[in-house]
Amino acid sequence: MKYLYGPVKSRRIGFSLGVSLTPFKTCTFDCIYCQLGKTTDLTTQRKEYIKINDIVDELKFWFLNNKEEAASLQFVTISGSGEPTLNSGIANLIKQIRGITTHQICLITNSSLLSNPAVRQEILGADLIVPSLDAVTPKLFTKIDFPHKDLKINDIVNGLIALRREFRGKLWLEVMLVKGVNDDLRHIKKLKEIIERINPDKIQLNSPVRAPLKNNILTVDKSKLNKIKALLGDRAEII
C-alpha cells in the first residue's frame, strides 16, 4: 500500500486506518517537534499531489481484503506525512470514502490553510476534524511551527473560528506543548482567550514523547500539563 497506513491505535482517536494525501514531508510547516524530520517541500501551493483515484483504488482493495480489521475500525483518518489540505482533491476523496465505507471520517490538519474559505468548504464532509494550534503570537508561532512565509497566525485563528461556525461535525483542537517554548502560563492564558473564541468540542493537550529527529525538544512534565489543563477548563484533556 502506498497511500494507506495502519490501522493504528492512537491516543487521540483510537483505531483508525490512515490515508496520506501528500508526498513525504510536503507541508506548510516545519515544526520543531516533527517526528518525521525536516520538511523537504515547504509550500502553500495546493494541487493534486497524489491522484485521488489512486488512493480510492487502494481503499477499495483494503476494505475488500480486510473485512475483519475493518469491522473494528473507529475512523478512516486523512492525515499522513505532510499537510493533507494541500491536496486539492480532498473534497473528492471524502465523497468517495463515503461510497466505500460507512466508517466515520476524521481529518487531522495543522490548520494552516483554514483561512481559505474554499479549503474549509472542501472539508465539511468529514465527521471529525482535529486541527492544531500551538501558538497564538506571531513570534511563538514562528518559533515552534516554522511556517511558510505567507502564513500568518491571525489569519489561521480566524480560519478556525470560521470553521467552527460552518462545520457541523466534531472539532477537537490539538495543542502540542514543548517545554520552554510555548508552555509559559502567560502564553497559555492568551491561548485560552483564542480557544474560547474558536469554541472546539475538546482541547487535546499533547507533548512530544518520542525522541525528535532534530533540535533539543523537551517534554512538558506531567504536573505542568495538569496545571495547563486546569487553566483551559473542562473541555481540555491530556492525551
Which residue ranges make up the site for ligand SF4 (CB under 6 A)? 27, 29-31, 34, 36, 39, 82-83, 110
Query: What 3-state class would DSSP assign to 119?
Result: helix
Contact 82, 24 (CB under 8 A): yes
Side chain identity, residue 175: V
Q: How far is the CB of 45 from ligand SF4 (least distance, A)?
A: 15
Of 104 and 111, the one with the shorter C-beta distance to ligand SF4 is 111
d(CA 89, CA 94): 9
d(CA 198, CA 209): 27
Q: How far is the CB of 35 from ligand SF4 (least distance, A)?
A: 7
Of 23 and 169, the one with the shorter C-beta distance to ligand SF4 is 23
Q: How far is the CB of 180 from ligand SF4 (least distance, A)?
A: 18
Of 103 and 191, the one with the shorter C-beta distance to ligand SF4 is 191
Q: How far is the CB of 36 from ligand SF4 (least distance, A)?
A: 5
Cβ-count burial 15-35 (b if 16+ within 10 Å, e if not): ebbbbbbbeebbbbbbbbbbe
Q: How far is CA 190 from CA 29, 183, 184, 217, in A?
A: 22, 11, 10, 23
Of 83 and 183, the one with the shorter C-beta distance to ligand SF4 is 83
In sequence order, the 6+-apart residues with CB closer than 8 A to the CB of 41 are 23, 25, 26, 27, 82
Query: What 3-state class would DSSP assign to 233?
Result: coil
Of 30 and 237, the one with the shorter C-beta distance to ligand SF4 is 30
Q: How far is the CB of 141 from ligand SF4 (least distance, A)?
A: 12
Of 39 and 104, the one with the shorter C-beta distance to ligand SF4 is 39
Q: How far is the CB of 170 from ligand SF4 (least distance, A)?
A: 20
Q: How far is the CB of 188 from ligand SF4 (least distance, A)?
A: 20
Of 83 and 103, the one with the shorter C-beta distance to ligand SF4 is 83
Q: How far is CA 63 from CA 69, 81, 98, in A?
A: 9, 22, 12
Question: Within its chain, how far is the Cα of 60 from the centroid?
Answer: 24
Gyration radius of the chain over CA positions: 17
